[in-house]
Structure 1
Amino acid sequence: MNTLTRALMGATALCALGIAASAQEATTLTIATVNNGDMVRMQGLTDAFTEQHPDIELEWVTLEENVLRQNVTTDIATSGGQYDVITIGTYEVPIWGKQGWLVPLNDLPAEYDVDDILPPIRAGLSVDDTLFAVPFYGESSFVMYRKDLAEAAGVTIPDQPTWDDIKAAAAAMNDPDNGIYGICLRGKAGWGENTAFITTMANSYGARWFDENWQPQFDSPEWKATITDYLDLMTNYGPPGASSNGFNENLTLFQQGKCGMWIDATVAGSFVTDPNNSTVADQVGFALGPDSGQGKRANWLWAWSLAIPSSSDAPDAAKQFVAWATSKEYTELVAENEGWANVPPGTRTSLYENQEYLAAAPFAQMTIDSINAADPNSPTVQPVPYTGVQFVAIPEFQGIGTAVGQEFSAALAGEKTVDEALAAAQELAVQEMTTAGYIQ
């Protein structure tokens, strides 16, 4: 065997070893996500991604909303490196982006078309024009109601209802003897659960979390009116055990025909009108979040988004995944497999210019109108020192918001009066804001 032959054989062997090594060195991405329907659907469609990226493997950690937030917050604050892709919301992104905890996403490929992301959604996921997360779906909140029950009860729910309209409709449709409750609302404690809903309701009543000097305002008459009416609605016309109900529990109740109305995330529109899962799919009407005549509606602004922790050891592969999962290509994949009504809503301008989508999704126009009705820079009637509609965009809010939510949930469960819950909320908020240095 001559020298040239040996060299060629050696090169071939090294090449083969290199190919084998490459095959063995597939990158594994660990993705933490919430157990909402759109995320579950995404997991079922990711074969399309792995076929395009055979060198990337996906591992899923799917958690209930409150647990996801706890786990992801702990991991990212300690640079734990447990996750490569995390599902986080509009509250966390700007705070964590400023801290340097997230990988910037300003270098996504041109075909991704960042400029197509709805301006209010994109602004909430950016810091100084740097994008730190991409929206998987965007949402506001609106009223979903049973048209058949409303008609039978002789009530009309207008497209722009007041809280008086909601109270009247809840009373008229309430039929607990037949397992139908006038209204279903979030009661489960958590800053992203009952506190989110109650804060938007408070905004529309003229209440605010803090005045311009960061003094908590739970001792105000506006907050008392909010919590009094919330508890009246839930106690008189809500389902039993409502203090344990969050988004998913109320979704199930509505799909089973047990709620006359449900005020919650616009993303629920596709689930309540899906005939495969909803017994009332052809009877659902939609309206904007209610107001009390003060110029602010109970419409929040949120996006469940995909971000990459700075502690990830595979940021390039992670970018490929988040770009795919939030792309126009993915939207078309969902439409092909599940129908246009089931594509992730509230993210792209082009979606609301797509006639196929508008024709298939009876909630589409009300969704975009609700998103545009929310103003994170002026969330309530009175001036405030913070941004955020259903949350306050400060790091301390996560803890304060959950503690306050526990007080309201206790009141709903009958363990505290309105006055007791509000006094406790005021006391703990003052203590936390003093400790954090916002007030003296």
Structure 2
Amino acid sequence: MKSLTKNTLSYAVSIAASLTAASSTFAETITVATVNNGHMIEMQKLTPEFEKANPGIKVKWVTLEEGILRQNVTQDIANKSGLYDVMTIGMYEAPIWGDRGWLTPIDTSGAYDVEDILPSIRQGLSHEGTLYGAPFYGESSMVMYRKDLVKETGMTVSDRDSWEHIRDVVAAMHKPNDGVYGICLRGKAGWGDNMALMTTIANSFGARWFDEGWKPQLESAEWKNAVSFYVDLLSKYGPPGSSSNSFNESLALFNEGKCGMWIDATIAASFVTDPKQSKVADQVGFAQSPISATEKGANWLWSWSLAIPAATKQADAAQKFVRWATSKEYIELVGKTNGWAAVPTGTRSSTYANPKFQAAAVFAEAELKAINSADPTDSTLKPSPYVGVQFAAIPEFQAIGTTAGQMISGALSGSMSVDQALKSANNSANRQMRQAGYY
């Protein structure tokens, strides 16, 4: 009898081991396509924590440069290929693809606490009230300036200064012979490069991309005034070669102490206040973006989010991963593992309420104020038919915005006039919109 018991036990243990091996062999594998930046790389490093908590799911990563990522995920989702179970997309894609039925709505039930997500970020990733992208980190734009240089001028920089006042401050700080330029701004052509900034300036001057009948408005007085102001400001008080500069070039100049002021993404604040990266870390001040005719659309709104294509065959596993990576608990995990200065920002109210984050991020209040003030559903002074602050969330906008960026960069470099640039951009936009059947 004892021998039989021992054999039975041995057999049971053998079966259990076989089942465990089979479970591991047949674990669901989800493929995540993402952009190659610091926050996403950190998410990959912490993925074993997710797999430990979800032993039936394995995560495979496809990490790409931003341009290649956009191309690959757009092709995959349009063709319904199902290569990716989770993809990294932004505020431009989420409402468009959600409307087309290409994305699975994010499961926001229970402990996910969707109400904790900042309202402007939540709205920008939604279509008709349904969330199609879970925000991993978010940003707006704001003024970053040298407090020491502004003090020397006897002037001040405040929230929502007029663009004219900003010009006067910048002019007073501009000392190229001493290696300091009054202002650094994006000039490199691209719908997500110079046009992100240019659209916020145009918005504040009262401009809009399209009227209520979808007719392009790039030759309006508001656009001409805004672009003329931008070109004049950067030509007189910016660094040489501004038409080739984007975020990284301006960041390098500011951190070297060569810019009196920089207006760009709020995410830059963590870099310019880091003594390991910035020579002027202890002299950086922050203010809300300048205005002219209106505050509407004066600062942009963006979020990299995780989305689930409708073509995935691993929807349940994908939902579990997305909910984990964009949760309050994930942010806590990063804070405990790498310090609160390293957590992804711009997504949840609870992050900004956390004393540990407040202590680590001197820019937290200004960043949150900027994000909360941006409304993608009401970003223009005159009525407009589109959603988006620094872009219009329609499929045709990438081409329209890219062409406009090339023209305005040409005006900045002096190869054409502002009027010529806007006329060419408007003509191109008209062709695109007619061909797409908007009118």
CA distance in 1, matches of 2:334, 2:10: 48
Q: Does 1:423 align with 2:423?
A: yes
Which stretch of the first structure deviates more once superposed, 61-70 or 130-139? 61-70
Asked if 1:80 corresponds to 2:59, the answer is no
Shift of 1:199: 0.7
- Structure 1 residue 344, shift from structure 2 partner: 2.0
Matched residue SS, 1:135? strand
Q: Within 5 Å, give how 1:5-84 maps onto structure 2.
A: 13-84=14-85
Equivalent position of 2:261 in the other structure: 261
Aligned pairs for 1:165-180 (under 5 A) are 165-180=165-180
Structure 2 distance, partners of 1:136, 1:289, is 24
Q: Secondary structure at the match of 1:140?
A: strand
* Kept in 1: contact 2:206–2:380 (CA 8 A): yes
- Corresponding position of 2:282: 282
SS in 2 for 1:201: helix
Deviations 1:200-242 (A, max 9, x none): 1100011111112211111112111111121222222223333
CA distance in 1, matches of 2:42, 2:275: 16
Q: Which residue does the alignment assign to 1:102? A: 103
Q: Secondary structure at the match of 1:419?
A: helix
Say which is worse superposed, 345-354 or 24-33, in terms of deviation: 24-33
The aligned residue for residue 370 of structure 1 is 370
Aligned to 1:247: 247
- Which residue number in structure 2 is paired with residue 121 of structure 1? 121
Report how far residue 4 of structure 1 moved. 10
1:170/1:70 Cα in 2 relative to 1: closer, same or farther (>3 Å)?
farther
Corresponding position of 1:315: 315
> Does 325-334 or 356-365 show the bigger shift?
356-365
* Offset of residue 284 of structure 1: 1.1
Cα displacement (A) at 1:386: 1.8
What one-letter code is carried by the residue in structure 2 that aligns with 1:102?
Answer: L
| Cα shift at 1:32 | 2.4
Deviation, structure 1 residue 102: 1.2
Q: CA deviation at 1:287?
A: 0.6
Contact 2:204–2:295 under 8 Å retained in 1: yes
Residues 336-375 of structure 1: matches in 2 within 5 Å?
336-375=336-375
> 2: CA distance between counterparts of 1:170 and 1:314?
54
Deviation at 1:286, TM superposition (A): 0.6
Amino acid in the other structure paired with 1:205:
F
Contact 2:159–2:290, Cα closer than 8 Å, also in 1: no
Rounded Cα–Cα distance in structure 2 between residues aligned with 1:92 and 1:214: 19
Q: Distance in 2 between matches of 1:242 and 1:73?
A: 31
Deviates more, 1:232-241 or 1:321-330: 232-241
The alignment partner of 2:104 has SS state of: coil
TM-score, length-normalised on structure 1?
A: 0.90
Q: Out of 421-430 and 370-379, give the one that drifted further.
A: 370-379
Alpha-carbon separation, structure 1, partners of 2:313 and 2:375: 37
Structure 1 residue 264, shift from structure 2 partner: 1.3
Distance (Å, rounded) in 2 between the aligned partners of 1:268 and 1:247: 9
Q: Which runs of 5+ in 2 are unaligned?
A: none
Preserved CA contact (<8 Å) 1:161 1:290 = yes
Mark the CA change 1:42 to 1:5 in structure 2 (over 3 Å): closer, same or farther.
closer
1:219 and 1:213 map into 2 onto residues whose CA distance is 16
Specify the alignment match of 1:394 in structure 2: 394
> Does the CA contact (< 8 Å) of 1:106 and 1:130 recur in 2?
no
Are residues 37 and 277 of structure 1, via their aligned partners in 2, closer, same or farther at CA, if it must alter by over 3 Å? farther
- Equivalent positions of 1:172-191 (< 5 A) are 172-191=172-191
Q: Is the 8 A contact 2:144 2:284 kept in 1?
A: yes
**Structure 1 residues 345, 20: CA separation in 2 closer, same or farther (over 3 Å shift)?**
same
Query: Partner of 2:140 in structure 1?
Result: 140
Matches within 5 A, 1:206-221: 206-221=206-221
Q: Are residues 273 and 355 of structure 1, via their aligned partners in 2, closer, same or farther at CA, if it must alter by over 3 Å?
A: same
Q: C-alpha deviations, 1:166-192, integer Å up to 9, x for none?
A: 212222223334443222222222222
Q: Which residue is equivalent to 1:330?
A: 330
Name the aligned partner's letter for residue 86 of structure 2. Answer: V
Partner AA of 1:356 in structure 2: K
Greater Cα shift, 182-191 or 45-54: 45-54
> Which secondary structure does the structure 2 equivalent of 1:138 belong to?
strand
Secondary structure (helix, strand or coil) at the match of 1:141 reads: strand
* 1:98 maps to amino acid: D
Structure 1 position 297, deviation (Å) = 5.5
Which region of structure 1 is more displaced relative to structure 2, 139-148 or 17-26? Answer: 17-26
Return the offset for 1:198: 0.8
| Contact 2:296–2:378 (8 Å) recurs in 1 | no
Distance in 1, matches of 2:413 and 2:28, equals 48
**Cα gap change, 1:297/1:392 in structure 2, threshold over 3 Å: closer, same or farther?**
closer
Q: Once the two structures are superposed, what CA deviation does each residue of 1:136-186 show, in whole Å capped at 9, x if it has no partner?
A: 112221111111222234432112211112212222223334443222222
Q: How has the CA–CA distance of structure 1 residues 206 and 25 changed in structure 2, closer, same or farther, with 3 Å as cutoff?
A: same
Per-residue CA distance 1:37-93 (angstroms, 9 max, x = gap): 433443344443344345544443334433332222222111232322222111211
SS of 2:95 mapped into structure 1: helix
Higher alpha-carbon deviation: 237-246 or 189-198 = 237-246
Alpha-carbon shift at residue 363 of structure 1 (Å)? 1.6
Q: How many residue pairs are counted as aligned between the two chains? A: 438
Contact 1:290 1:297 (C-alpha < 8 Å) held by counterparts:
no
Equivalent in the alignment of 1:304: 304
Deviates further, 6-15 or 74-83: 6-15
